Amino acid sequence: MNVNVQDLRKLYGNQAVLDGVQFAVRPGECFGIIGPNGSGKSTLLKMLSGVERADSGHVHLNGVDIAKMKTKQIARKIAVLLQEALSPVDYSVRDVIEMGRYPHQNWWGIDDTECTSLIADISYKLCLEHLLHRAVSTLSGGERQRVAIAKAMAQQPDLLLLDEPTTFLDIGYQMQMMDMVRNWQVEQGITVITVLHDLNLAAQYCDRILILNQGKQIALGTPAEVISDHLIESVYGTRPIILEHPVSALPQILLQPGALPLQ
Amino acid sequence: MVKRLFFWTTFGLVLLVVSVIVSLSVGSAHIPLHETWRVILQQVPWIGQMIETDWTESTEQILLQVRAPRVLLALLVGAALALAGTGFQGVLRNPLAEPYTLGVASGSAVGALVVILLGLQYAWSGSWTIPLAAFLTGLLTLWLVIILSRQQSKLKIETLILAGVVIQAFFGSVVSFLVSISRNSMNEMIFWLMGSLSLKGWSYSFIILPYLVFGFIILLLMGRELNLFSLGERQAMHLGVNIERTKLVVLIICTLLTAAAVSVAGIISFVGLVIPHILRLMVGSDYRILIPLSVIFGAIYVLWADTLSRMLLDPQVIPLGVITSILGAPFFAWLLIQNKRGAAS
């Protein structure tokens, strides 16, 4: 899916939380958004998913202004994974995956495609088959995050938005999560836009990265272009050491204690 | 899902029919069960002709003119309150939510009590005056709550509940004030406040029936939306639910149901709070199942409560609201304990 963001601006009161953000995401791309706390990342994601309206500027999905789309139409195109995964509801895993079909169901709850085989397929891919009848509230955090991905897959979106999806996961589940998303992206050709806290994950998984600071667009480019020590220092206020990953040759950062320029 | 729904609905309906027949047969004049169900069956078209009349005229009078309207009203009031409770809990995502959370009960009570205090029970529209006044002030309350809690055309759940509590407290003290200044009609007021189904003819059932049918159909169609709501509002929105519209529609429908029930039967407590929870413990949280079952089991619950209220201290009648709580609280506690044991083992 083509995502086109034009001169986006969002005010909370008189304060601009986003100002002059402008970029285009190509179909099938994995696009990362990074920036310090309060830089406007989450607000940007909310606007991309149609939760918040822009004060000026536009978000176009395949040429259609998102402000003109209904909630259900948006949900047929976009799935969103939030950082808090799923609340511990007592629905079965199967029921929750099936909830992803909601935007494709009509008033009476009848699906436009046959969803039984779709759900079987997804639960096979994500190794959820043995959990299908368990209540979500009895699952671990990592398993719950997998159910959330399964629900998003059942939604069959063209665009997947992720809001710091790895925040509450240990490194094993972080990699598992990002790998599952990448496999999905490659297999189905979907477009992925993800907000990430972890710059190393962003460098490894994203084709291009957008850096935001105080609502402004600071840099946009491939990981090798934007992960540089002076840029990171100017945005985050700490000077890291940048190394090349021995396998992928992508830039990775190491943190340096005491390297905080205190002015 | 369909299998579970079918099983519980069948079970509920059988229980409902048995309860109706038993409730009809008991009372100050006892009518044997085998007569009761045949009198009822005779009223059913087609089958009725096959049943011969071998009972007295007065038996039929008592059953059809005295007890049947009361039983029907009990069923409808119970169904409406339990359905409203299920809706409120679904959309407010709060286990303490019930039909009276948003202050509708106290609002309705103010209307009814003002009418009683001024001795206007039969003014304007005859026996309909109290229900009408109660219904209108109930709606006014909802309108106030929504005005109070609306921010930029969005309803925030926390604000909504808070506004409901404030309004409830305010109208609650108005109610206490009205009761305290009345000299002659205090008994009538207190009886109304604790809920009663006595001496109401068929016509009261027709007040509540349209709201129940209409509300049931709409809520049944919104079962999936309510399921998605329990994942959280933002999740529901990302799955394509128009959350502001869903909230408003469910709140209005449940308020209409509550106001209709309160206006004919007074404030019957506990039903709308506890029936949805009991059902959740029995069948899980799927609103596509909870909504139809809350109608059936709410009806059964209030029917039994009302039967007990007229039987226990016969000829004295215990207020219905008292029975619903006395009966419901221990049962609920027992279910909770059972559930804890189930989870521990």
Judge whether B220 and B293 are in contact, CB under 8 Å: no
Q: Where in chain B are the domains?
A: 2-344
- Is the bond preceding B315 in cis, omega lying within 30 degrees of 0? yes
Cβ within 8 Å, pair A99-B228:
yes
Tell me the CATH class for B2-344: mainly alpha
Mutation target vs B (from A102, A132, A151; most B CBs, 10 A cutoff) = A102
Ramachandran area for residue A137 (φ above 0: left; ψ -120 to 50: alpha; else beta): alpha
Judge whether A253 and A245 are in contact, CB under 8 Å: no
Q: Cα separation of B345 and B336, whole Å?
A: 14
Q: Cα separation of B194 and B113, whole Å?
A: 12
Closest CA to A128 of A110, A108, A114, A142: A142
Measured over all CA atoms, what is the biggest interatomic distance in chain A, rounded to whole angstroms?
A: 62
Tell me what ipTM this predicted complex has: 0.88
Query: Rounded to a whole number, what is the distance in angstroms from the first to the last CA of chain A?
Result: 44
Closest approach of chain B CAs to the CA of A21, in angstroms?
23
Please tell me whether residue A194 adopts helix, strand or coil conformation.
strand
Q: pLDDT tens-digit profile of A188-221? A: 999 999 999 899 999 999 999 999 999 999 999 9
Q: For chain A, say whether B60 makes contact (Cβ under 8 Å).
A: no
pLDDT of residue B325: 84
Q: Which long-range contacts (CB under 8 A, 24 or more apart) does A114-118 make?
A: A115/A154, A118/A154, A118/A156
Q: Cα separation of A9 and A101, whole Å?
A: 33
CATH number of the domain at A3-254, out of 3.40.50.1860, 3.40.50.300, 3.30.1370.100, 3.40.50.620?
3.40.50.300
Q: Cα separation of B122 and B129, whole Å?
A: 6
- Tens digit of pLDDT per residue, chain B (345 long)? 788 899 999 999 999 999 998 998 887 777 888 788 888 888 777 777 777 777 777 788 888 888 889 999 999 999 999 999 999 999 988 878 888 888 888 898 898 888 888 877 666 666 678 888 888 898 899 899 988 888 777 888 888 889 999 999 999 999 989 888 887 777 778 877 888 787 667 888 888 899 999 999 999 999 999 999 999 888 999 999 999 999 999 998 998 899 889 888 888 888 998 899 889 888 888 999 999 999 999 999 999 999 998 888 877 778 888 888 888 788 778 877 877 776 655
How many Cβ atoms from other residues are within 10 Å of residue A86's Cβ?
22
From residue A162, alpha-carbon distances to A258, B29, B175 in Å are 32, 69, 52
pLDDT of residue B343: 62
Say if residue A263's pLDDT is above 60: no
> Which residues, numbered 274 to 293 in chain B, qualify as contacts with chain A under a Cβ-Cβ cut-off of 8 Å?
284-286, 288
pLDDT of residue B291: 96
Cα Rg of chain A, angstroms: 19
Q: Where in chain A are the domains?
A: 3-254
Judge whether A201 and A193 are in contact, CB under 8 Å: no
Measured over all CA atoms, what is the biggest interatomic distance in chain B, rounded to whole angstroms?
A: 68
Query: Which residue does chain B place closest to A94, by CA atoms?
Result: B1
Q: Cα separation of A242 and A239, whole Å?
A: 9
Enter the DSSP assignment of A210.
E
